[in-house]
Amino acid sequence: MKTILVTGGAGYIGSAAVKALIEKGFDVVIVDNLSKGKKEFVDDKAKFYETDLVDKEQLAKVFAENKIDAVVHFAAYKAVEESMDNAVKYSDNITGTINLLNLMVEHDVPKIIYSSSACVYGTPEQSPVDEDIPISAPINFYGYTKIANEQVIAWYSKVHNIQYVFMRYFNVAGDAGLSYIDPDAQNVFPIIMEVLSGKREKFIIHGDDYDTRDGTCIRDYIDINDLVKAHILALDINNNDIINLGTSNGVSVKELVDITIEVTGKDIKYEVGPRREGDPAIVVASNDKAKKILGWEPKRDVREMIRTTYDAYFKG
């Protein structure tokens, strides 16, 4: 039986991954500082440590008490705007990763799967975006932490032979059956749900004068269940690799609003506001590599993601 250390295992994606790993028969050890995640989302069968990755002593205890076979590293602060106000806090994303790598070396843990992001492509000039497009100047400090972590992991791989898979997520959405409610909505799906619940007055579409089919930005939304499956498949890869996780299908913000109205039968109050600085018109993944290397295929579309998110928020 393999033991997987899941960092950030109480968060949105991490808790779904823990559930899937346990269903597949893995033993799971979780490290989460509960800054955002919630213990109630953590499977009882996982061993849980409420520990911050920057706390070297506590983290060392986790490695000393468990024989870890691989690390799936989700833990990070991820609010883009906050990262531009508080580099001190977001530097923990890098420090925590280095602490983790040092302990992996000390305990001969051979493999890490790292949650990266499409933001490492900066403002891509072409879509679909494939993994060969060079990573570019990040437009926020959060994006920088993703690039820095990819680079430091790649160096540890060269020097200490740790094998890595970087998973570059596009926009993750939907629910994995845990009825996960984002306590601090920053992403478009939870924001729409807050508008539907009345917590927010209206939904703001940031610009409708882009060069797209309806003038609003086009993004690639990947279902959390499909995303998690890709991580489990990646545990069997034996080479270093970089893999985009998206559907290759773009959905515009306006289409997202219309589909939500159609799927939920509820009206959404929205308004068009100014563009946000640095927002590219279109960001859609090429997922050919994920299909080829992992034998993976995303199964759920954006309607399904809206339906499961809506059920999580309103039917619990």
Ligand X SMILES: NC(=O)c1ccc[n+]([C@@H]2O[C@H](COP(=O)([O-])OP(=O)(O)OC[C@H]3O[C@@H](n4cnc5c(N)ncnc54)[C@H](O)[C@@H]3O)[C@@H](O)[C@H]2O)c1
Angle at 306 between CA 258 and CA 141, to 5 degrees: 95
Piece of 60-68, 73-81, 104-112, 128-136 that binds ligand X (CB under 6 A): 73-81
Burial class of residue 194 (count of CB atoms within 10 Å of its CB; 0-12, 13-18, 19+) = middle
Question: Residues 142, 156, 169, 180: which is the catalytic one?
Answer: 142
Distance, C-alpha 216 to centroid of its chain: 23
| One residue of 18, 27, 36, 280 binding ligand X per CB under 6 A | 36
- DSSP-derived letter for residue 134 is P
Is 12 catalytic? The answer is no
Which tokens sit at 160? 């200490």
Q: CB-hemisphere CA count at 13 Å for 69?
A: 9
Piece of 34-42, 125-133, 195-203, 276-284 that binds ligand X (CB under 6 A): 34-42
Report in angstroms how near the CB of residue 168 gets to ligand X at its nearest: 8
40 or 211: CB nearest ligand X: 40
242 binds ligand X (CB under 6 A): no
Q: Which of 130, 287, 145, 123 minimizes the C-alpha distance to 217?
A: 123
Which x/- pattern over 263-292 shows residues binding ligand X (rule: CB under 6 A)?
------------------------------
Q: Which of 298, 222, 214, 223 minimizes the C-alpha distance to 257?
A: 214
| One residue of 37, 174, 190, 246 binding ligand X per CB under 6 A | 37
Which tokens sit at 209? 């004068």
Q: Which of 157, 61, 73, 47 minimizes the C-alpha distance to 103?
A: 61
Which x/- pattern over 113-152 shows residues binding ligand X (rule: CB under 6 A)?
--x-x-----------------------------------
Interacting residues with ligand X (CB under 6 A) = 8, 10-14, 31-37, 52-54, 74-78, 92, 96, 115, 117, 169, 171-172, 187
